[in-house]
Amino acid sequence: MTTTNRIMLVDGMALLFRAFYATAMSNYYMINSKGMPTNGVYGMLKHLFTAIDTYQPTHVICCWDMGSKTFRNDLFPDYKANRSSPPEELIPQFDLAKEVVESLDIPNVGTVGYEADDCMGTLSRAYSEHSQVFILTGDQDMLQLLEPNISVVLLKKGYGNYAQYEESSFYEEKGITPQQMVDLKALMGDSSDNYPGVRGIGEKTALKLLMQHETIEGILENIDQLTKGQRAKIQQDLDMLHLSRKLARINCEADVDCSLEDALFFIDENRMANKFNELEFKNWQKNIIGS
C-alpha cells in the first residue's frame, strides 16, 4: 500500500527529559533574564527538528503525560511509585515545552488518566490505516506498537542517532513478535515502572518461554513442561503476572483524537522566531533548526 502521508508522533516527555538531563548533569540550565530555565526545551527542540529533517514528515503531533496518575495506578497503586519528583529546574519547562510546540503549530495531545504512550498507541492505530506512521521516542515499550505501517524510531545518544524498528525485521532481530513484547514484560517485570512481574524470572528465561509457548496462556497450559523452579515461581506470582500484563500493554483506545488537517506540518517562521527570541534562545537558527 503506498501512502503519501508521513505522520510523526513525538513522545514529548521522552524528548524533554532526555534533553534536560543531558545538560543538567553539568548544571547548565540556560536560565534566561526572566529567571526561566530553558535547557530541556532547547534540547527537545533540537531533537525534534533533527528528526523532522531526517524523516521528512508531512504531519507532526506531540504527545504528553497529563499528571502523574493514570488508570495503571488504579490497577496497581505502586506503579511508578519509585520515581522521584522532577528537579525544580525541570518543573516549569513542562508547560513551556507545550507552549513552544504550539508556537510551531504542532498540536499537543494528551488526556488525563493516560500516558503519552497510550495517546501515541491510539493515534498510531487510527492513522496507520491510511498513512505511514513514525513514533519518535526513547522508550522501548513502544516496540509493541510495530505494525506494517508503523515504525518506531528510538533516540540514541547525541542528536540524529536513531535505532529504527519495523515490524518486518523485528522478529529476526528479537526472536519474538512485537505483540509478544507485552507478555515478555509481564513475565520479567519492569523496574523503571516499578512492577515486579514474576520474581526470579529474568529476560533470558522469559524470552525462552515465549519462544517455546508463544503466550502467557501457552506457558500456563504447558506448565508441567517447565522446570520445577520456573513452575513454582509462576504459580506463586500468578496474580501479579496477569496484573503486570495489564500494566505493560499500551492502551490503544485512549480518549484522544487529532485531525490530520491540524497536524499538517507548516511553520510560521515569524511566530517561531518571536517565541524563540522571547525565550532568549541563543544561536537557535544554527543550533535548533540547522539553517
Q: What is the CATH number of the domain that holds 218?
A: 1.10.150.20
What was the pLDDT predicted at 201? 96
Q: Is position 59 within any domain?
A: yes
Contact 4, 24 (CB under 8 A): no
Convert 202-235 to b/e letters by CB count within 10 Å (16 or more is b). eeebbbebbeebebbeebeeeeeebeeebeebbe
Q: Strand 162-165 relative to strand 150-155: parallel, antiparallel, unpaired?
A: antiparallel
Residue type, 239: D
Q: Say if 55 falls within a structural domain.
A: yes
pLDDT score at 23: 86
Assess if residue 228 is contained within a domain: yes
Residue pair 120/9 in contact by the 8 Å Cβ criterion: yes
Q: Of the residues 233, 248, 263, which one is the last residue of a structural domain?
A: 248
d(CA 141, CA 152): 10
Residues 123 and 266 occupy one common structural domain: yes
DSSP reduced 3-state for 213:
helix
What distance in Å separates the CA atoms of residue 196 and residue 288, rounded to the nearest whole number?
40
Beta bridge partners of 63: 11, 109
* 217 inside domain: yes
- The whole-number pLDDT of residue 2 equals 52
pTM (2 d.p.): 0.94
Domain limits for position 20: 6-173+251-287
Q: What is d(CA 130, CA 23) in angstroms, rounded to the nearest whole number?
A: 39
Of 232, 281, 263, the C-alpha closest to 106 is: 263
Indicate whether 255 and 190 sit together in one domain: no
Query: Please, what are the averages of pLDDT over each run of 10 residues along the chain (291 residues)?
Result: 82 95 86 94 96 97 92 94 89 96 97 96 96 96 96 94 94 93 96 94 96 96 96 96 97 95 96 95 87 57
Q: Cα 22 to chain center, whole Å?
A: 18
Please tell me the total count of domains within the chain.
Answer: 2
Edge-to-edge order in the sheet of strand 150-155: 108-109, 59-63, 6-11, 132-137, 150-155, 162-165
24 is a domain residue = yes
Helix (H, G, I), strand (E, B) or coil at 147: strand
**105 shares a domain with 51:** yes
Residues 16 and 123 in one domain: yes
Identify whether residues 110 and 192 lie together within a single domain: no
Structural domain contains residue 36: yes
Q: What is the largest CA-CA distance in the chain?
A: 68
CB-based contact 83:40 (threshold 8 Å) = no
Q: Do residue 47 and residue 165 come from a single domain?
A: yes
Answer whether residue 237 is part of any domain.
yes
Which residue, chain included where needed, has cell 501512502?
3
Do 279 and 206 lie in one domain? The reply is: no
Q: Do 63 and 181 reside in the same domain of the chain?
A: no
Are 38 and 131 in the same domain? yes
pLDDT of residue 1: 45
What's phi and psi for 193, nearest 5 deg?
-95, -5
Residue at 1 is within a domain: no
Rg from Cα positions in the chain: 20
pLDDT of 27 reads 81
Looking up residue 153, the CATH number of its domain turns out to be: 3.40.50.1010
Residues 207 and 267 in one domain: no
Q: Are residues 161 and 73 in the same domain?
A: yes
Q: Are 158 and 127 in the same domain?
A: yes
